[in-house]
Amino acid sequence: MLKRFQTPFRALFAKKHTSGSKHLAMAQVIQAKQSGRVPSTKQLRYFPSLLSHKEKIIASFALLAIILSGSYMILSIIGANQQTIPAVGGTYTEGVIGAPQLINPLYSTTSDVDSDLARIIYSGLMRFDPATGITEDLAESYNISEDNLQYTFVIRENAKWHDGDPVLADDVIFTINAIQNTQYRSPLSTSFTGVAVSQVDDRTVRFDLEKESPDFLKLITVGILPSHLWQDITANNAVLTALNIKPIGSGPYMFEMLEKDNKTGEIHTYTVKRFDDYYQDGPYIESITFKFYPDINSAISALQNHNIEGISYLPVSEATRFENDDRISLMQAGLHEYVAAFFNPEHSDILADVAVRKALCFATYKEKIIDEVFGGYAKQMESFVLPGTTGFVEDAGDVIFDQKYATVMLDEAGWVVNQETGLRTKDETVLSLTITTIDSTELISVANLLKSQWEELGIQVEISTIDQATLQSTTLKNHDYDILLSGEIYDTNLDPYAFWHSSQTGASGLNLAQFENDDVDDLLETIQIATTTEEREQALEKAQEIILADYPAIFLYQPQYTYAVSSAIKNADVVRISMPSDRFSSIDTWYIKTRKSLITE
């Protein structure tokens, strides 16, 4: 290549009218190329003139490639060391059924609207976390005595009220004493009977219990009131103060404004804004506005007309109409409940045969029930352990829908089809069963599907509907049913003791399947006193294995609480809730805006 250029270069330099400085610079370029030395910047200025047109094009593309690849490399290095994280910003408007009256932890449990607002404005020592259960909130740490009768909580040093004052032990003591004071007429008063609260220091409080309470940590999720604002308000006037509508709390959001009808006093909208000094990292959404509607139809119309971006509750029958709406995200949170068909072998000799119970389990098409009755808005259950909770096993038990297998089991158990009646009989006894359930549209629909599925096997099935009062006063007390289609509702601690321990088979117990097993009793007792998640998990899995092997019930589905939020909001879904306001349990982590941040080790 060098030889190729040398002759033209020399001819160029030989021209009489070329400037001397240019001759010299170009000669130095050639000399540098010949000697292998690096040309100076001044010399490189003349390098393009040494190239042909084709070589200039090639050089240009090469330079562009170098620039692009270099830029890509730099951006890749930067990108590899960056992450997208939530940023403060954005607003959200939600439709709610009803209107606020007492946004006060002492009273809010009687109203879903008040509970929703109190949840995001106030904080308790502890809080409900959908993933882990009860965890610290205002408390940075806590300690439980060996006898489970003394609880000590240390309040976060950076916890503040919305007016800037620090949250102190005095505030906790005032709140608990107010709940216990009958003049305040708080519906929580009976829950705190036998509980004494005292101050250890400015940031430490101690609770002394008269007797052990497995649910005490749940009780302590109650929102704390600021004593410096409430101590001068008499108990008799507590429900009349403006602090019930314009509250001061220590939660992630604080009151900003409201709009109401001046004539009727009815509140139409209520806006809260983020509390900048909140002790956690969030919240991120700048403000949230609640719009209030008298009924579900009005709220649904507002959602359809884009007057709101979300809704606090959507009936299953209405949820499907929003499935293709890109503006909103339909959320499903599992309730602390499961519905099952409980077998009572003490009432029906037929059900005393485990082969019959097993056949009924395999003859039940749960997916069809969930699709037809709930439009898919329910979660299939295989045991009494709720999905996503400690002890949950994805493929618990061995039951699948298999009517042929169910048929074989019944045949082998001696229940054969009478060709004249089409019903299964054994020793001239017809395989006849009655499903008992309360007079509910949902449960009656489920009962009818169970009836039709079982009748395909030649089983005679009747349905008996009762009201709630009869269920409580007679049916459960006397265990007067073959099969009871019913739900069992867990408390926050998700303890299955009341539903499966043999001590709960009596008239006042909730062991609906009348299940008794000494090993299971021991395991359920272990679960109640377990001090670690691993211990509880192992006991639950073992108890589950024993119970499912006996086929005491057909575990059907977990009801879902369905609601809608703006599709722009991220991190708003929750696994499970025990009450509607639990959907806000992680609202401090909801976000709309994002930003880039360098990854730090």
Q: What is the pLDDT of residues 145-172, one digit of tens each?
A: 989 899 999 999 999 999 999 999 999 9
pLDDT of residue 5: 42
Nearest to 169 by CA among 226, 107, 119, 85: 226
Nearest to 229 by CA among 181, 157, 167, 155: 167
Q: What is the pTM of this model?
A: 0.76
Does residue 16 have a pLDDT over 90?
Answer: no
Does residue 202 have a pLDDT over 90?
Answer: yes
Does residue 3 have a pLDDT over 60?
Answer: no
With bands split at pLDDT 50, 70 and 90, how would you rate the model's confidence at 80?
A: low
Neighbour-count burial of 181, counting CB atoms closer than 10 A to its CB (0-12 exposed, 13-18 middle, 19+ buried): middle
Q: How far apart are CA 188 and CA 108, in angstroms?
A: 10
pLDDT of residue 493: 77
184's CB contacts (< 8 A; 6+ apart) are 106, 178, 235, 238
Does residue 4 have a pLDDT over 60?
Answer: no
Delimiting residues of CATH 3.40.190.10 domain(s) in the chain: 91-309+579-598
User: Taking all residues of the chain, what is their mean pLDDT, rounded to a whole number?
Assistant: 89
With bands split at pLDDT 50, 70 and 90, how would you rate the model's confidence at 27?
A: low
pLDDT, tens digit (0-9, with 9 covering 90-100), for 297-321:
999 999 999 999 999 999 888 888 8
Start-to-end CA span in the chain (Å): 52
Residue 447's beta-bridge partner residues?
none
pLDDT of residue 317: 81
% pLDDT > 70, the chain:
90
Higher-scoring residue by pLDDT: 73, 333: 333
Q: CA dist 8 to 188, 210, 355, 439, Å?
A: 101, 107, 102, 104
How many C-beta atoms surround the C-beta of residue 76 within 10 A? Answer: 10
Mean pLDDT of 440-459: 96
Does residue 455 have a pLDDT over 50?
Answer: yes
Higher-scoring residue by pLDDT: 297, 64: 297
Does residue 49 have a pLDDT over 80?
Answer: no
Task: Point out the least confidently predicted range of 70-84, 267-281, 466-480, 496-510.
Answer: 70-84
Nearest to 491 by CA among 105, 214, 224, 223: 214
Delimiting residues of CATH 3.10.105.10 domain(s) in the chain: 335-560
Fold classification of 335-560 (topology level): Dipeptide-binding Protein; domain 3 (3.10.105)
- Residue 187, preceding peptide bond in cis (omega within 30° of 0): no
pLDDT of residue 508: 78
Mean pLDDT of 470-489: 92
pLDDT, tens digit (0-9, with 9 covering 90-100), for 384-423:
999 888 899 888 889 999 999 999 999 999 999 999 999 9
Higher-scoring residue by pLDDT: 263, 415: 415
Do 493 and 513 meet the contact criterion of CB atoms below 8 Å apart? no
pLDDT of residue 7: 46
Does residue 43 have a pLDDT over 80?
Answer: no
pLDDT of residue 11: 43
| Domain 91-309+579-598: assigned CATH number | 3.40.190.10
Does residue 582 have a pLDDT over 70?
Answer: yes
Residue type, 206: R
% pLDDT > 90, the chain:
69
Mean pLDDT of 330-336: 91
